[in-house]
Copies of this chain bind each other. A is one copy, B any other.
Amino acid sequence: MPRQPPKPKTDPQEVDFLKAYDPASFDRPSVTADLVLLTVLEDALHALMIRRSEHPFLGAWSLPGGFVHMDESLEVAASRVLREKAGLSRIFLEQLYTFGEPTRDPRTRIISVAYMALVDSDRLLKAQSHGHDVQLARVDVSWAGEEGGPAKLIGPDGKKLSLAFDHADIVGLAVKRLRGKLDYTPVGFQLLPATFTLFQLQRVHEVILGHPLNKDSFRRRMLASGQLKPTGHAQEDVGHRPAGLYRFAGPST
């Protein structure tokens, strides 16, 4: 890049620099933390959705979210939203992506740092009181593999929910990311209770990936990974040979 003659007073970097020191001198975007809280319920992936009670998108469904306060980190903001909106803490939480199209919110410029959270449905159902304005909606993606694209959210009546803002894209990206992570990280455990059978784990993987898995191969891979520790106990009262229960042990610990 050919160097230009220095013009200190109008250099865009210099202007930006001064802006950073004088918050009142220019407009800044608002920044929110939005949460895709996923769980597996009745052999399907579900996300926690909240009905909007304000314009814009009044009556449409949106992800739980809130503004990032000046004294909290993004992760702390996401944890706070998780606690305030779902009554949960200490669950898997990971930054997903930051959405910043200038027109994504018709009110004003709002940049959203999206987080993905995973929890087993028992914990979520205990913590969360569902009602008229909060629900677990089934997540439905029309694409295979890790192709990506927006998600549809289906209510208990089987009808497609109307979603606010770009939240269909955010949920879609969460599913894509989750599918990708499944191959090389032990993330499936996050969607199950503390102890679980191999078949339960396989069902979780199948639900997320959207296609059936080979049982033998899945068993071998999981046991060979060294991340599962047998509890010594087994299922009870199941009407057939009970499966052994496992616990997540972490990598080579």
Contacts and interface: CB of A to CB of B under 8 A. Distances in A.
- The copy count of this chain in the complex is 2
A101 B16 CA distance: 20
Interface stretch (A62-70, A207-215, A222-230): A62-70
A27 B23 contact: yes
Given A1-B87, A68-B100, A127-B1, A108 B20 contact: yes
A28 B31 CA distance: 8
Interface string A92-132: 00010110111000011111010000000000000111010
B100 A113 contact: yes
8 contacts: A19-B30, A19-B67, A23-B108, A28-B31, A29-B31, A68-B111, A98-B113, A111-B113
A236 interface: no
A239 interface: no
Interface in A53-87: 54, 66-68, 70-75, 84, 86-87
A102 B71 CA distance: 6
